[in-house]
């Protein structure tokens, strides 16, 4: 077993194993049912047989994602009144070891500051998933900040820098390339669905602002607030830093009225992230986290010679290497078959 129970009833990974691997193993049964139903549907010979299988396929499709949809919170459903315990309203509901939650609570919003998706004891110890991964990681202090991925306005601005020089006798300039800057901009919304989520979200927002300020050593020297950013599979643990952050309160947002919690409910955060990246930046490199591309830098002296995502063939000239070095997706897909124009994979 790759993951073992921890003292709090959740699970921890053995060294060298990514948390996402465990999450996929825990949902293996749902995926298996979906794949079996989808295969049976494709093999059905006529429309009547397909109609019989369609119901199974629909339920299997729902089951594939229900571990995520069940964590959003069941707003609008009937709720039997519970005995109040005096903290944040009627919250005496058992959900694992989470005492201050009920069935309306959004489990992603409830992930506390410093914890990753799979570090919390929700969902029977399986952690929490969002439809799209979205998190900040404070590299210096090893703390995660996770919000629900209500994203908009994502932009990726790449700005090459060229210096031009004019010489006597020529009307045009001679340009020298000096480098490239890359900025990722995005906006996300913060909105609690229940009162229980509200202080958790405000605390995470507090520490998100902290990612614009330094940490200090014992000698009071500043340490720059470098972070890893994850947005889906576009950027996965990508190194960089926040060069700007603005927190905007919606004019129509209600406010919490309890003393000590008088903050607005609906907050919009606008972020600008300076991209540093994991890989050697190059023309043939890896600029998004495409799982099937592997960037090994520029190693032209070894036996296995690479130029970015290309493994050199023949006499080691990039002109003789026609396709990048591709591997399979995590789900097992063979990308070379899909990308091959002569023998396309149409399944």
Mean pLDDT score, 51-78:
60
**DSSP β-bridge partners for residue 307:** 298, 310
Residue 197 or residue 54, greater confidence: 197
Is residue 323 scored above 80 in pLDDT?
A: no
The answer to the question of residue 262 being in a domain is yes
Q: Indicate whether 190 and 253 sit together in one domain.
A: yes
CATH of the domain at 174: 2.40.30
The answer to the question of residue 170 being in a domain is yes
pLDDT digits (tens, 9 = 90+) for 168-193: 888 889 999 999 999 999 999 999 98
Is residue 104 scored above 90 in pLDDT?
A: no
The answer to the question of residue 87 being in a domain is no
Is residue 47 scored above 90 in pLDDT?
A: no
Q: Indicate whether 166 and 292 sit together in one domain.
A: no
Beta strands in 191-293 (DSSP E): 215-216, 222-223, 227-231, 235-249, 267-275
Q: Indicate whether 297 and 269 sit together in one domain.
A: no
**According to the model, what pLDDT value does residue 100 have?**
53
The answer to the question of residue 16 being in a domain is no
Q: Indicate whether 262 and 189 sit together in one domain.
A: yes
Is residue 34 scored above 70 in pLDDT?
A: no
Q: Given pLDDT bands bounded at 50, 70 and 90, which one contains residue 74?
A: low
Is residue 27 scored above 70 in pLDDT?
A: no
C-alpha 87/C-alpha 85 separation (Å) is: 6
Mean pLDDT score, 195-215:
93
Domain range spanning residue 304? 279-347
**DSSP β-bridge partners for residue 334:** 328
Q: Indicate whether 339 and 211 sit together in one domain.
A: no
Q: Are 228 and 144 within 8 A, CB to CB? A: no
Question: Last residue of some domain: 246, 275, 304?
Answer: 275
How high is the mean pLDDT of the chain? Answer: 77
C-alpha 242/C-alpha 105 separation (Å) is: 30
Least-confidence region, from 138-142, 159-163, 257-261: 257-261
Q: Indicate whether 227 and 303 sit together in one domain.
A: no
C-alpha 200/C-alpha 330 separation (Å) is: 33
Which DSSP state fits 101? -
**pTM higher than 0.75:** no
Quick one: 61 exposed, middle or buried, by C-beta within 10 A (0-12, 13-18, 19+)?
middle
**According to the model, what pLDDT value does residue 270 have?**
97
Q: Indicate whether 271 and 285 sit together in one domain.
A: no
**According to the model, what pLDDT value does residue 181 have?**
95
Q: Which span out of 96-105, 140-149, 279-288 was modeled with the highest average pLDDT?
A: 140-149
Is residue 125 scored above 60 in pLDDT?
A: no
Q: Indicate whether 292 and 340 sit together in one domain.
A: yes
Q: Indicate whether 173 and 266 sit together in one domain.
A: yes
125: left (phi over 0), alpha (psi -120 to 50) or beta: left
C-alpha 225/C-alpha 213 separation (Å) is: 6
C-alpha 308/C-alpha 293 separation (Å) is: 10
Q: Given pLDDT bands bounded at 50, 70 and 90, which one contains residue 15?
A: very low
Q: Given pLDDT bands bounded at 50, 70 and 90, which one contains residue 11?
A: very low
The answer to the question of residue 301 being in a domain is yes
Q: Indicate whether 135 and 265 sit together in one domain.
A: yes
C-alpha 337/C-alpha 335 separation (Å) is: 5
Is residue 197 scored above 60 in pLDDT?
A: yes
Distances (CA, A) of 120 to 43, 53, 96, 125: 41, 37, 11, 7
Question: Last residue of some domain: 216, 251, 275?
Answer: 275
Write b or e for each residue in 7-16: b if 16 or more Cβ atoms lie within 10 A of its Cβ, otherwise e. eeebbbbeee
Residue 82 or residue 197, greater confidence: 197
The answer to the question of residue 85 being in a domain is no
Q: Indicate whether 195 and 259 sit together in one domain.
A: yes
Q: How many domains does the chain have?
A: 3
Helix extents (H) in the chain: 19-26, 28-43, 47-69, 197-210, 335-339
Q: Given pLDDT bands bounded at 50, 70 and 90, which one contains residue 91?
A: very low
Distances (CA, A) of 51 to 31, 55, 59, 195: 21, 7, 13, 44
Is residue 107 scored above 90 in pLDDT?
A: no
Q: Indicate whether 337 and 230 sit together in one domain.
A: no
Mean pLDDT score, 105-130:
80
What is the number of other CB atoms lying within 10 angstroms of the CB of residue 332?
A: 6
């Amino acid at each position: 077993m790759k993951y073992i129970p921890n003292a709090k009833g959740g699970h921890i990974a053995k060294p060298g194993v990514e948390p996402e691997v465990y999450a996929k193993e825990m949902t293996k049964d749902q995926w298996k049912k979906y794949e079996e139903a989808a295969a049976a549907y494709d093999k059905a010979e006529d429309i009547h047989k397909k109609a019989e299988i369609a119901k199974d396929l629909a339920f299997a499709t729902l089951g594939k994602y229900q571990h995520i949809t069940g964590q959003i919170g069941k707003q609008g459903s009937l709720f039997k009144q519970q005995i109040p315990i005096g903290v944040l309203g009627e919250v005496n509901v058992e959900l694992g070891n989470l005492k201050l939650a009920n069935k309306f609570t959004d489990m992603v919003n409830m992930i506390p500051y410093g914890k990753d998706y799979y570090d919390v004891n929700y969902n029977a110890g399986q952690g929490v998933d969002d439809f799209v991964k979205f998190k900040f990681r404070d590299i210096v202090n090893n703390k995660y900040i996770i919000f629900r991925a209500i994203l908009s306005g994502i932009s990726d601005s790449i700005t090459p820098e060229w210096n031009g020089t004019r010489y006597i006798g020529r009307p045009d300039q001679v340009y020298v390339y000096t480098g490239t800057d890359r900025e990722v901009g995005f906006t996300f919304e913060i909105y609690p669905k229940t009162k229980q989520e509200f202080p958790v979200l405000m605390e995470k927002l507090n520490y998100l602002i902290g990612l614009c300020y330094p940490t200090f050593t014992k000698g009071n020297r500043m340490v720059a607030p470098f972070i890893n950013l994850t947005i889906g599979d576009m950027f996965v643990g990508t190194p960089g830093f926040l060069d700007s952050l603005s927190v905007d309160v919606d004019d129509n947002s209600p406010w919490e009225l309890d003393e000590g919690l008088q903050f607005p409910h609906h907050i919009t955060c606008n972020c600008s992230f300076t991209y540093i990246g994991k890989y050697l930046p190059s023309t043939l490199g890896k600029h998004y986290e495409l799982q099937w591309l592997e960037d090994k830098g520029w190693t032209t002296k070894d036996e296995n010679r690479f130029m970015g995502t290309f493994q050199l063939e023949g006499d080691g000239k990039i002109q003789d290497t026609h396709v990048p070095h591709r591997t399979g997706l995590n789900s097992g897909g063979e990308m070379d078959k899909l990308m091959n124009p002569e023998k396309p994979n149409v399944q």
